[in-house]
Chains A and B, each alone.
Chain A
Amino acid sequence: MSVQALSGADVKATPQSPPLTAEHLKLVDRVAGWNILVGVLALSIGALLGVFQGLEHARVIDIYPWLQPVIKTYYQGLTLHGALNAVVWTTFFICGFFTFAFVRSLNRPLKYPKLSVIAFFVMLAGLIIAAVPMLMNNATVLYTFYPPLMADWAFYVGLTLLVVGSWIVGYSMYFTYYAWRKENPEVRAPFIALASTITMVLWQIATLGVAAEILFLILPNAFAPVFGYTAPGLDPLLSRTLFWWFGHPLVYFWLLPAYVSWYAMLPAQTNGKMFSEPLARLVFWLFLLFSTPVGFHHQYADPGIPEIWKYIHMLFTFGVGFPSLITAFTVVASLEIGARARGGKGYLRWIGRLNWGDPSYAAQNLAMILFIFGGIGGIINASYNVNMATHNTMWVPGHFHLTVGSASTLTFFGITYWLVPKLTNRKLFTPKLALAQAWTWFFGMLFFSNAYHTLGLVFSVPRRTMLGQAPYYSEQWNLQMMESVLGLAFLTISATLYFAIMLFTWILPRKLDKPIEMPVAQPLDPKPAPKWLDTWWPWLNGAIALVILSYGPMLFQLIRDAEFWSRGIRVW
C-alpha cells in the first residue's frame, strides 16, 4: 500500500494498515445484519400503521376501536408510525449500512471493533426503553414531542440512548478513519468512507441540539413526578428551537446515505462510472456546512423569532438546496455513462437501457425520480412566505413521504436487495417480486403524496389530525381522498411484498451461487481530487462557525429571556 508521492524523507515512519481479514468482516457483517433486521421489523409495523392512518383519513374505515388493547387512539398510532419509520428504521438501517460499507471502502478493519457491538446494544436498549411507554399510551406526544406535551420519562431516556448509540457508531468510524489517515498520509480517502464519515459528523452536530433539549429542559420535568420534586417548568419556544436545530439536519442524515449509494454504488450497478468524483466530495462538504443553520425554516410560523433570523435561515436553506442540484446532474451523468456502455443511444432513449431488470437498481432509480418531486416541494416549503400556504397542512406529509418515505426508504430497499443476500448468503427471494415491490411503492407514493399535497395546498386540510372524526370534514376532499386510497392500495401491496421478500430471503435455504461484493463505482477521471476536498479542518470549522453565527445570537436571547411558565401536561 505504499502509494503515491511519498518523497524520500516521508517514507520512514508510516505505520502499515492492518489487513482486513475475513474474520473481522464477519463481525462487521453480523452487526450490520442485526441493525438491518431491527430496522426492517420497525418499518413493517410502521408501514401497517401508516395504512391505517390513510384509511381513517379517507373515512374508509376507522380501525382504532378494533385495535383497542394495543393501540388506544389514532394519535398513539401516529406517534409509533413517526418514531418507528422516521427514527428507528432509518437510524438502524443507516448505522448497519455505514458500518458495512465503511470498512470495505477504507479496506481497513475497525480500530475498535467492539464499539460497533456496544453501539448496537445501546441503540437496542434505547429502542426498547422508549417503546414501552409508547405502547402503553404513556408517550402519545408524536415523534416531535414538543413540550409542554410531557411523556413518561422512559420515552426520553430511550430516545437519548438510541441517539447515543448512533454516536458510538460515529466514534468507531472516526477512530478508524484517523488511524487509516496516519497510515496513509498522502492518499485521498476513498469516497464512500469519506462521505459516510461526513454524514456521521453532520449527525453529531445536529443531535447536539436535541440532546440539549432533552437533557436540560425536558428530563428535569419528566423526572419530577418520579422523584417527587417540583418540576422546574418549560419554555416551549426554547425547546422548539433546540429541536429544530436538530430537525433539519436530521433529514440530511436520512438522505445522505442514499446519496452515497447513488453516487458511488448505483453507477456500478448499471455499468457506469462516477462522473466527477471530486465534485461529489464537494457536495458532501457543502452539506456539512449548510445543513444545520437552516432550522428556522421549520419555525417560519412561530412567534418570538424576529423575521430577520427567519430570512437568514431561508438564505442558508437555498444554500443547502444547491448541492442537491449538483447531485441531480452528476448522478444522472454517471448513470448515462452506464446506459451508453450498455448500448443506449439518443438524447433520452438511453434511459431504457439502464439496468431496469435489477430490482436493486430499479428501486433506487425510482427513488430518485420521486425525489425530483420531493425536491421541488422542498424549495416551495423553504420559501419563507409561500410556506404560509402550506405550513402544517397535509402538503407536509405529502412532501416528506416523497423524501424520507421514498428517496431514502426506497433507496434503502434497493440497497437491501444486494446487501441482505450478501449478509445472509442467501438468494434474493425473488428478483421479480422485488421489482414488483419497487414499482408498487413508486406508484403508491406518487398517488398518495399527490393527493396529500393537493389537500394541503388547495383545501388547507391540517396534518396530524384524525380527519375522519373532524366536524369540518368536507365533501370537496373526496376526489383527493380517493386518489390517496389508490395510493394506499399500492403501498399495502408493496409493504407486504417487502416484508415477505426480506423474510423469505432470510429463512429459505437457498444458498448464493456466487459471492456478492459491494458495488463500487470507479471514477471516470482517475486523477485524484484536490487535497482541499480531502481536508477536514476548513469544512468542519466552517460548519461549527455557521452554527454559532446562525443560532448563537438567537439562542443567547432565548436562554437569557427564558421563562419557565409552562408545566408539562398529559393531554391524551
Chain B
Amino acid sequence: MSEQTHETEHAAESGGHSADPHGAAENHTEESALHIEKWEGIWIRIAVGMTVVFIVAITIAALSFGITVPGATARINPTTLNQEGNPFATPGVRELAPGKYEVYMVAQTWNFVPDRIEVPVGSEVTFYLTARDVIHGVKFAETNVNMMALPGQVSTLKATFDKPGTYNYICHEYCGYVAGAPIGHHTMYGQLIVLPANETAQATTE
C-alpha cells in the first residue's frame, strides 16, 4: 500500500462539503444544473449516440432479416403429451409443402425425440419444441436456432437450411445426471442432416 492512501481522509469527507471555503452565502445560491466538463460532455454524447445506433441496428435486423427470438405460441400440458391427438404424441418431421417442413420435438431426460432429422437443402423448417419433465434447451450448431424447452410451453422458431451437412443439436440447459449412469444431460443431443440437392431423399415422415 502506498503512503498517500493512508492519510486520515475520511474525516474530511464526512459531513459532505463542510470544508467548502466559500462559506454559507455562496452555497445558498446553489445551482440545480449538473456541471459537466467539456470532454465529459462529448463522451456522454458519443455514449448516447452509440446506444441509439445499436438499438436501431438491432431493430432493423429484427424487422428486415427476420432474425427473431421465440415468442408466445401455445401452452401444452406436459402430462398429456402421449395422448392421442396431441401433436407431440408423434414427434418428428412433417412435410407441409415442397421445401417446407415442420418438426415437432420433445425434450426429455435425457434425449430429444426425434434425435435425427433429415431435410433437403434449402428447406424452410418450423420447429415446435416442448419439454416433458424439466427445463431443457437446444441450439442447432452454427445456426441461430436457439431456444429453451419448458414444460407447459411450446417454443417455435423457423429457419432455412442452405448448406448441406450435419448439424448437432445439443441440450444446453442442465437437466440432471445420476452419478455413474451412462447417460445424462451431457449425452443429450441429436443430429440434423441437411441433404445435398441430388440426394433429395425422403425426409423421415413420422
Q: Taking beta carbons and an 8 Å cutoff, which residues of A are in contact with B?
A: 1, 3-7, 72-75, 78, 104-108, 137, 140, 142, 146, 148-149, 184, 187-192, 235-237, 240, 268-271, 275-276, 278-279, 282, 299-307, 310-311, 314-315, 318-319, 321-322, 325-326, 329-330, 333, 355, 357-361, 379, 383-389, 391-393, 417-418, 421, 428, 431, 459-460, 462-467, 469-472, 514-520, 522, 525-533, 561, 563, 565-566, 569-572
Nearest-CB distance from A297 to chain B (Å)? 10
- Nearest CB of chain B from residue A78's CB, rounded to whole Å: 8
A142 to B173 Cα, complex, angstroms: 10
List of A residues within 8 angstroms of B177 by Cβ: 73-75, 466, 571-572
Nearest B residue (CB) for A421: B1
The 8 closest A-B pairs by CB, nearest first: A571-B176, A107-B14, A462-B172, A303-B155, A325-B47, A392-B172, A303-B153, A188-B16
How far, in whole Å, are A533 and B30 apart by their CA atoms in the complex? 13
Residues of B within 8 A of A462 (CB): 137, 139, 170-172
Minimum Cβ distance to chain A for residue B71 (Å): 4
A502 to chain B, nearest CB (A): 15
- What is the minimal beta-carbon distance from B82 to any residue of chain A, in angstroms? 14
- A-B pairs with beta carbons under 8 A, tally: 330
B141 contacts chain A at the CB level, 8 A cutoff:
yes
How far, in angstroms, from A302 to B75 measured CA to CA in the complex?
A: 13
Neighbouring B residues of A279 by C-beta, 8 Å? 34, 36, 40
With CB as the reference atom, state the residue of chain A lying closest to B43.
Answer: A329
Q: Does B7 sit at the interface, judged by CB under 8 A?
A: yes
Which residues from chain B contact A530 at a C-beta distance below 8 Å?
30-34
Contact of A271 among B4, B40, B184 (CB under 8 A): B4
Q: Which residues of B contact A532 (CB under 8 A)?
A: 32
Interface residues on B, range: 35 or more
Given contacts A187-B15, A571-B175, whether A388 and B67 have CB atoms under 8 Å apart is yes
A492: min CB distance to chain B, Å: 24
| Given A148-B135, A384-B58, CB of A304 within 8 Å of CB of B75 | yes
Cα of A516 to Cα of B44 in the assembled complex, Å? 36
Partner of B47, one of A3, A271, A302, A326: A326
Interface hit among B86-94, B116-124, B144-152? B144-152
Q: Of residues B16, B18, B24, which shows the largest number of chain A Cβ atoms within 10 Å of its Cβ?
A: B16
In the complex, residue of chain B having the shortest beta-carbon distance to the beta carbon of A323: B47
Are A385 and B144 CB-contacts (below 8 A) given A278-B35, A471-B187, A525-B35?
yes
